[in-house]
Amino acid sequence: MGKICKINLDNRLYLCAKNVRPGKFIADIGADHAYLAIWLILNKLIPHAIVTDVREGPLLNSTHNIRRFGLEEQIETRLSDGLGKIKPGEVDDIIIAGMGGELIAKIVSRADWLKNESKHLILQPMSSEAELREFLTREHFKIDSEQAIIDHNKVYTVMSVYFEQDFYNFDRIYTYIGKLGDNLTFENCSYIKRVIRDLKNKLKGYILTKKLKKVREISEVILELEQIIKENKQ
């Protein structure tokens, strides 16, 4: 069978790919299908990739796709829980996409060697983004840039993250929207509006259970986020 040479990424994975530094060695953690690594290699953006998965089935998907494109020399597969089977010197850019924010935080926390300014993390959480940003801030991982993207009517965020020993952030809004307030594109505003909706739902629960401190805190955050959107319209 002839080699298939074309692959299209969806908007979410394309934004992850755009954040990879050209020429760097990458690892895609929880790659499932390896499309991201295949696309980066086919577009000659990176020389080599390691794709991992904790489960054999998804890793076999990756192996199958890599063979289909004849990229066995450039893309290696590893059965690995998080970064467990990756050595610090092997990769520069690490992508962790399509998982919950808490799982991403757990994977990052187990690889101490990521606390190195030369390593670049590209994180794309599917949920619990605030918890992930809290974890990153506590551990001195700085969100260097962040962008939202709409894919199949859902809004996602992609964070470009580096460790910086002196990084501190005490802005509570940063926990909820990271760097998305810096550039109020349609997609970034859609994400902020989604956060406002989620917080309003949480607020109802806090009101019912009379958690007054939380009611005050979340109400203030909602007001601040609404102000950001309103100022953008003016």
Ligand X SMILES: C[S@@+](CC[C@H](N)C(=O)[O-])C[C@H]1O[C@@H](n2cnc3c(N)ncnc32)[C@H](O)[C@@H]1O
Nearer to ligand X, 17 or 173 (CB): 17
| Of residues 58 and 101, the one with the C-beta less far from ligand X | 58
- For ligand X, the binding residues in 104-163 under the rule CB under 6 A are 107
Tell me which of 32, 129, 146, 187 binds ligand X, using CB under 6 A: 32
Cβ partners under 8 Å of residue 75, min gap 6 = 34, 37, 38, 41, 48, 49, 50, 51, 62, 66
Minimum distance of ligand X from residue 28's CB (angstroms): 6
Residue 8 C-beta: closest distance to ligand X, Å: 13
Q: Does 29 bind ligand X (CB under 6 A)?
A: yes
Residue 66 C-beta: closest distance to ligand X, Å: 14
Contacts of 208 (CB under 8 A, 6+ apart): none
> In the bound complex, what is the minimum distance in angstroms from residue 62's beta carbon to ligand X?
9
Q: Which is nearer to ligand X, 86 or 196 (CB)?
A: 86
Nearer to ligand X, 122 or 195 (CB): 122
Residue owning tokens 């009611």: 215
# chain residues binding ligand X, by CB under 6 A: 17
Residue type, 7: I
Cβ neighbours around 229 below 10 Å, total: 14
| CA dist list (Å): 232 to 19, 160, 191, 197, 228 | 26, 24, 14, 18, 6
Output the six-digit token pair for 167: 């990084």
